[in-house]
Amino acid sequence: KAGVTQTPRYLIKTRGQQVTLSCSPISGHRSVSWYQQTPGQGLQFLFEYFSETQRNKGNFPGRFSGRQFSNSRSEMNVSTLELGDSALYLCASSLTGQGKGEAFFGQGTRLTVV
């Protein structure tokens, strides 16, 4: 079956702009989580959505937001981009988002803010 698909793969934006990233989970998976990966901070949890509801969020400013659609596809939005938002953004899908269940990751979106 198809894996987790993230689009676009690469993105270059200017400071102050906003950006929307997309994640299509594995069919049947209802949980989608987002992570930011940077060389300095490593992998940090942004938020998780399940059945269109945000169930959990990490310590990121309100400029970072997301949503999930009825088909489980998720989008992540960053407004008023800062240079420090340059990172690899990964999404992960799983059946329930809990327990020992495997989280399947996409290949990520590389965001560069100039």
Partner 1 sequence: AQTVTQSQPEMSVQEAETVTLSCTYDTSESDYYLFWYKQPPSRQMILVIRQEAYKQQNATENRFSVNFQKAAKSFSLKISDSQLGDAAMYFCAYRNAGGTSYGKLTFGQGTILTVHP
**Which residues of this protein are in contact with partner 1, per CB under 8 A?**
31-33, 35, 42-43, 45, 47-50, 55-56, 58, 88, 90, 92, 94, 97-100, 102-108
User: In angstroms, what is the minimal distance from the CB of 32 to partner 1?
Assistant: 8
Q: Minimum Å distance from CB 65 to partner 1?
A: 16
Q: 81-85, long-range: CB within 8 Å, 24+ apart, which pairs?
A: 81/13, 81/14, 81/15, 81/16, 81/17, 81/18, 81/19, 81/113, 82/15, 82/113, 83/15, 83/113, 83/114, 84/113, 85/111, 85/113
Of 85 and 94, CB closest to partner 1: 94
